Amino acid sequence: MTVQQHNTLYFAGGCLWGVQEFMKHLPGVISTEAGRANGTSKTTQGEYDGYAECVKVIFDPKVVSSNKLFDYFFEIIDPYSTNEQGTDKGPKYRTGIYSTNHTHLDAASNYISQRSDADKIVVEVEQLTNYVPSDPEHQDRLTNHPDDYCHIPLELLHKYKS
């Protein structure tokens, strides 16, 4: 019996509602979870000091590579904007790619450094130091409330939805 190997990456791309809605429909994505990454406390307890809104993405690397996920991610973010995506402003809306796997972090750094616009990109690539899942009302928010605000244009948001 073969054990299936799945990988995990965490993507911060502004408001987590749209990022989750976009990522969960991508080929090879097994599951997503809205959350917060790399804050200054171990639990949020309603406080999100230093955290970035993010989406935990579990994927099958036999179906989609981490580099392809980076391609998808760069479709929905402004990689030159610091602490702002769409009308959402502040450090919690910064862009980032996080992981506990150094191979993924190296791949993300290489991906960015090989782009022609690498010198302008402000996307964090950091080890995941802590992660807190969002409250249930934030999980799959745009699936459950499709008229809620999203900074990602609708044509991109549903580009890979089948």
pLDDT tens column, 69-101: 999 999 999 999 999 999 999 999 999 999 999
Q: Tens of pLDDT along 101-115?
A: 999 999 999 999 999
Q: Tens of pLDDT along 44-62?
A: 555 567 899 999 999 999 9
105 φ/ψ angles, rounded to the nearest 5 degrees: -65, -40
Q: What is d(CA 9, CA 50) in angstroms, rounded to the nearest whole number? A: 19
CA-based nearest residue to 118, from 108, 128, 127, 104? 108
Note the pTM of the prediction, 2 decimals. 0.91
| Domain spanning 7-157: CATH 3.20.20.70 | no
